[in-house]
Structure 1
Amino acid sequence: MSKRKITGSAVALVTPFKQDLSVDKEALRRLVQFHIAAGTDIVIPCGTTGESPTLTAGEQTEIIEIVREEAGNKILVAAGAGTNATDNAVTLAKNAEKAGAQALLSVAPYYNKPSQEGFYQHYSHIAAAVSIPIIVYNVPGRTGSNMTAQTILRLANDFENIAAVKEASDNMSQIIELLALRPQSFSVLTGEDPLILPFMALGGDGVISVAANQVPGEIKQLVTLMREGNLEEARTINNRLRRLFSLNFIESNPVPVKYSLSLMGMIEEIYRLPLVALQEENKEQVKEELRSLGLVN
């Protein structure tokens, strides 16, 4: 297993589609190069921001292979590979490792609402099936249930390749507990862009970011400034991006961010159902903010 600690600025990468709804491979390669140029530390294809529920197993493999090929050794590739049936999650994890992923992001089982022991058993099976680092993804707002700090820490202590957690909540008491009691080699990352500054002030290791799709350089800079303890400059960036963070969730992610990238000339504005285009009034708000940030004319 790679001993490289999972830290810094990670992008939850969108999946670009063509008009016929197939994966736009050329646009996908452009996005990876965009992140390499911006200094993003980790690229995460096939996560929920990548519309993973709508991807076939073959598409997941192909996307990971393309991203890995384009990334080379310039940026770490941590692929989304999770679902709510443990056997299927194990298969996705094995496929991602075979496709070249250097780490995995595995979402906590959603809808089933397992007990804490159920969460533990789910991840223990995945950890036993692959050799690459696993990022546990706790996102109660989407899954319907919370993995407790105790369960996450138990996994971190019991499995060497459970290397990090993406804590996508604003449960600050849980975040503080994770940061205080984690093993030294275990990373705690936020999945909430508006919380990067306070999260890292508490000792967090970085972010898995939606806004990094649009402003990768500034997200990397914000993380770096917080790591260096430069609170004043970090506040300036945080304030500049505050409204963008909010607008990215004006409708379901990744709809606003994919619309943004289409305006920026990076991808076509294509979604797979059940996601649909932004309402017109919300498009205007997003476009206005992108203009104010100098991202579009």
Structure 2
Amino acid sequence: MKNPFLGTGIAIVTPFTIEGNVDHKALTSIVEFNINNGIDYIVISGTTGESVTITKQEKQDIIATIIKANNERLPLVLGIGGNNTAEVLHEIQTTDLSKFAGILSVSPYYSKPTQEGIYQHFKAVSQSCPVAIILYNVPGRTASNMSPETTLRLAKDFENIVAVKEAGNNVAQYLNLLKDKPDGFGVISGDDDLALTVALAGGDGVISVIGQALPKTFSKMIALGLAGEAKQAYKLHFEFMEITSLIFSENNPAGIKAVLQALDLCNDTVRLPLVVASDDLKQKINKYLAQFNS
């Protein structure tokens, strides 16, 4: 199975009202804004969507809202992952995935499995999943790095494992994946600051955080990168360097929610243990947006 997830995907936030409830109106607006400005696919219920503090019922309601707003215009990817393999399999088996092009499944966190443990976890996921699978390696959050050897072993052994979202912020690891990957297997950047570099090196694009706030210019940058237009693409990359650094300087998604609030797309409310961006960070974000040429 060839990787169908190309270009700019977004790791969509879960907007909340000031009272802390899911803001479905704002969520609909963010989906529409991104579809109208060139995004290629939407990833639901990832880290940026605050998946760990969303209830099962809220997750179902968020899915329903996005499916309705999207109206089959873009491919949708659903986050289903964790460090309890049996629970991950149960969620896959009990979720209606008919509206999804694939799932994004994070490498098991906290437990710190061996590479063989990671392989066996994803083998079980593959055998239970009726749709395409994007592996998700984010060692800064999981405390466990999925090695390129393990990723490529999975890619070669299981046809429905079509790509990896690599978010180790490690250029050498990206290049090892790109050098040795089988034909059709996708290497997707999970690092906004390295997304263009990965695209130019032969990657398949990005699942972005900042992209959902500035989708028109960001998706143009990635398209230029995929076309090998390095000079034009890097002009846009340089424009994004400051804001990309800012949104991750305190926590994600507080930073991106501060940007989305400044753009009047949603509130900046997050759920504990996260807290909203500091006033200092908000001032820097507002100053950046005032001069950004979209």
Q: TM-score, normalised by structure 2?
A: 0.95
For 2:265 and 2:158, the matched residues in 1 are separated by: 39
Tell me what 2:42 maps to: 43
Q: Quickly say closer, same or farther: Cα 1:16–1:239, change in 2 above 3 A.
A: same
1:272 Cα deviation after fit: 0.8
8 Å contact kept, 1:83–1:106 = yes
SS of residue paired to 2:245: helix
Cα deviation code 1:173-208 (max 9, x no counterpart): 221121122121210001111112221221111001
Displacement of 1:152: 0.5
Query: Where do 1:1-297 residues align within 5 Å?
Result: 5-98=4-97, 100-293=99-292
- Whether contact under 8 Å (1:255, 1:275) holds in the other structure is yes
Alignment size in residue pairs: 294
Unaligned runs of 5+ in 2: none
Unaligned runs of 5+ in 1: none
In 1, the alpha carbon distance for the partners of 2:21 and 2:265 equals: 16
CA 1:130–1:97: 2 relative to 1, 3 Å: farther
- Mapped to 1, the partners of 2:36 and 2:127 lie a distance apart of 35
**Do the aligned partners of 2:77 and 2:103 also contact (CA within 8 Å) in 1?**
yes
AA of the residue aligned to 2:185: F
Query: Counterpart of 1:183 in structure 2: which amino acid?
Result: P
Single out whichever of 247-256 and 193-202 deviates more from structure 2: 193-202
In the TM superposition, what whole-angstrom CA distance separates every residue of 1:117-157 from its partner, at most 9, and x where no partner exists?
A: 11011111111111111110001111111001111111111
- In structure 2, C-alpha distance between the alignment counterparts of 1:99 and 1:254, rounded to whole Å: 28
- Give, in angstroms, the shift of residue 170 of structure 1: 2.5
In structure 2, how many angstroms separate the alpha carbons of the residues matched to 1:257 and 1:33? 17
Task: Work out whether residues 3 and 163 of structure 2, in 8 Å CA contact, stay in contact via their aligned partners in 1.
Answer: no
**Could you state the TM-score of these two structures normalised by the residue count of structure 1?**
0.94
Structure 2 SS opposite 1:272? coil
Classify 1:20/1:63 alpha carbon distance in 2 versus 1 (closer, same or farther; 3 Å): same
- The one-letter code of the counterpart of 2:157 is D
What amino acid is aligned across from residue 206 of structure 2 in structure 1? Answer: V
C-alpha distance in 2 between matches for 1:66 and 1:83: 24
Deviation of the 1:20 alpha carbon: 2.7
CA RMSD of aligned residues (A): 1.6
Question: Kindly, what percent of the aligned residue pairs are identical?
Answer: 37
State whether residues 44 and 80 of structure 1, in contact with CA within 8 Å, keep that contact through their aligned partners in structure 2.
Answer: yes
In 2, the alpha carbon distance for the partners of 1:94 and 1:156 equals 22
Query: Structure 1 segments of 4 or more deviating over 4 A?
Result: none
The Cα offsets for residues 47-76 of structure 1, whole Å up to 9 and x where unpaired, read as 000000001122222212221222123111
Taking the aligned partners of 1:95 and 1:65, their CA distance within structure 2 comes to 15
Alignment partner of 1:269: what SS?
coil
Contact 2:42 2:77 in 1 (8 A): yes
